[in-house]
């Protein structure tokens, strides 16, 4: 019997922390390299960067023969189509995921969430996650903000009766090499 689909969000209240990039990297790695079935719910209004990126990629693959061939070769080699990307918002995110689940045998659904905690809909969405990953960088303001965010999530969301969150993780991001 297959395990229940895991809902994962990269989330913090700092813009520019790498939430969208990490969402795409994690989803793509698990889908294309590890063979898991994933979907992405893009709730980062008004940017919807992942939706826009997917639309650009699709347009390029449809209009340019070189990219059309590359896409065909990749999908043929992997025997996998591109994972679905759904445009949403924090209010509808969980409902959109529930609507999507019967359409595929998903192992993971990733949520790209906006960078604020002062939103009741975001708090509801966070409570629906199995795992939350908070990107953090070696900048004092970012560290303080992310640590405060993690404390709020831990105290007000994790462990509550209506929360399914099992884990909150900090991920060092944007580290100088």
Hey, is 133 helix, strand or coil?
strand
Tens digits of residue pLDDT in 10-48: 987 767 677 899 999 999 999 999 999 999 999 987 788
Q: Which helix (H) or strand (E) holds 35?
A: none
Pick from 102, 145, 116, 135: nearest CA to 24: 135
Residues 6+ apart with CB under 8 A from 103: 84
Cβ proximity of 20 and 90 under 8 Å: no
Q: Is the pLDDT of residue 152 over 90?
A: no
Q: 6-172 has which CATH code?
A: 3.40.50.300
The model's pTM:
0.89
Query: 146: buried, middle or exposed (CB in 10 Å: 19+, 13-18, 0-12)?
Result: buried
With bands split at pLDDT 50, 70 and 90, how would you rate the model's confidence at 1? very low
Mean pLDDT of the chain: 87
> What confidence score (pLDDT) does residue 39 get?
98
> What confidence score (pLDDT) does residue 28 get?
95
């Amino acid at each position: 019997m297959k395990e229940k689909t895991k809902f994962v969000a990269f989330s913090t209240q700092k813009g520019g922390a790498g939430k969208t990039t990490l969402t795409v990297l994690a989803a793509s790695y698990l889908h294309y390299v590890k063979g898991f079935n994933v979907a992405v719910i893009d709730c980062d209004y008004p940017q919807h960067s992942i939706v826009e990126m997917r639309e650009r990629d699709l347009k390029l693959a449809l209009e340019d023969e070189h990219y059309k061939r590359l896409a065909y070769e990749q999908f043929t080699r992997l025997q996998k189509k591109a994972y679905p990307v759904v445009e949403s918002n924090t209010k509808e995110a969980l409902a959109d995921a529930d609507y999507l689940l019967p359409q595929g045998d998903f192992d993971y659904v990733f949520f790209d969430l906006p960078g604020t905690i002062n939103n009741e809909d975001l708090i509801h969405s966070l409570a629906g996650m199995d795992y939350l990953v908070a990107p953090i960088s070696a900048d004092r303001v970012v560290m303080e903000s992310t640590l405060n965010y993690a404390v709020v999530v831990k105290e007000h969301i994790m462990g509550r009766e209506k929360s399914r969150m099992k884990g909150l993780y900090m991920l060092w991001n944007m580290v100088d090499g």
